[in-house]
């Protein structure tokens, strides 16, 4: 990347309301802020969302802010009124058992719907599809997963990704290396998966491996400790990200940490400790959500950090593409 090309900052921030305030504008203008994640609280109706996204995207240029939202369908769909209600992905998994071809068609259609609707507001990423395998243990995953069969997860995730891609939208597979076999909710505490790596490889890792081979553009890490492989949570682990994901699996896309404000990341210390560890581990983008004072203090604490050219190269591939109508 030429030295004159502006770099994308590693922090993905949020805003508290339905319009951009002067305080929001100041924080989002910070050179370390490269993205914004939207939530249900940021949405009132389509006209308001269009104005909000336009204002956010006008704050920076070359590069502009990367705009994301958790929009998987089912329980995790931040915008509802005025948007198509997308079913939980487990419904597609059940359909697959009855009619695999129809399930693939429907999955691609839902991916296209998500991509088309989000792109029309200027949003880049839906943070989907979920690649976790549902073993029946994790309620926080549950019906967000396509299936308990990794081969069905692979087929349907590929179809959703194809639908997103048809609308110029990149995919974010989550939560690497697999969140489906733990009981604890990583929003509240650090889940621990004690299975040996070979068990993960035989089940949870299969969808990630196949989608990486397909060229998936980004992956989100899990705030889960896989104690047989590394005592550090995967989201903050250089062993998981650089040694296993990058070198062993050959992943070349962007690595997105799960929200650093979640308690699953708190075992390593405060926000600054978490952020520095995530960056050192190889994460390209660090969401910091629902904690405006903490995010502002973090940006000040990281004043010695500079955006990385390698991360910027990967993150640039996540901006939505213009698709001729």
State the catalytic residues: 187, 258
Look at residues 8, 13, 10, 11 and name the one whose alpha carbon lies nearest to residue 23. Answer: 13
Residue at token pair 């960056």: 279
Q: What is the largest CA-CA distance in the chain?
A: 56
The phi, psi pair for 265, rounded to 5°, reads -95, -10
Look at residues 80, 254, 238 and name the one whose alpha carbon lies nearest to residue 174. Answer: 254
192 CB burial (10 A radius; 0-12, 13-18, 19+):
middle
- C-alpha to C-alpha distance for 265 and 282, rounded to whole angstroms: 15
Q: For 169-222, give the DSSP string.
A: ---EEEEET--TT--S-TTTS--EE---HHHHHHTTHHHHHHHHHHT-SEEEE-
**Cα–Cα distance list, 16 to 151, 212, 262, 286 (Å):** 40, 34, 17, 18
Around Cβ 190, how many Cβ atoms within 10 Å? Answer: 18
- Give the pair of three-digit tokens for residue 307: 């955006």
């Amino acid at each position: 990347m030429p030295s004159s090309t502006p770099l994308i900052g590693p922090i993905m921030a949020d805003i508290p309301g339905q319009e951009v305030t002067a305080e929001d504008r100041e924080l989002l203008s910070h050179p370390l802020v490269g993205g914004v994640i939207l939530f249900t609280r940021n949405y009132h109706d389509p006209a308001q969302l269009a104005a909000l996204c336009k204002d956010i995207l006008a704050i920076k240029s070359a590069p502009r802010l990367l705009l994301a939202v958790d929009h998987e369908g089912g329980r995790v769909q931040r915008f509802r009124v005025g948007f198509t209600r997308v079913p939980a992905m487990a419904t597609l998994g059940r359909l697959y058992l009855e009619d695999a071809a129809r399930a693939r068609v429907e999955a691609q259609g839902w991916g296209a719907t998500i991509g088309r609707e989000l792109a029309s507001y200027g949003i880049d990423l839906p943070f989907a599809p979920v690649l976790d395998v549902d073993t029946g243990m994790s309620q926080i995953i549950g019906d967000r997963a396509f299936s308990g069969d990794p081969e069905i997860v692979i087929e349907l995730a590929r179809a959703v990704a194809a639908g997103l891609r048809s609308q110029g939208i990149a995919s974010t597979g989550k939560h690497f290396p697999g969140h489906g076999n733990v009981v604890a909710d990583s929003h509240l505490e650090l889940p621990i998966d004690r299975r040996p790596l070979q068990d993960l490889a035989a089940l949870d890792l299969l969808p990630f491996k196949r989608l990486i081979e397909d060229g998936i553009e980004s992956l989100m890490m899990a705030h889960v400790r896989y104690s047989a492989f590394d005592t550090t949570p995967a989201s903050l682990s250089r062993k998981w990200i650089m040694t296993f994901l990058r070198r062993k699996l050959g992943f070349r896309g962007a690595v997105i940490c799960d929200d650093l404000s979640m308690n699953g990341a708190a075992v390593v210390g405060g926000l600054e400790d978490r952020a520095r560890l995530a960056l050192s581990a190889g994460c390209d983008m660090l969401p910091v959500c629902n904690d405006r004072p903490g995010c502002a203090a973090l940006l000040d604490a990281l004043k010695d950090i500079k955006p990385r050219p390698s991360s910027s190269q990967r993150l640039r591939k996540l901006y939505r593409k213009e698709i001729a109508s």
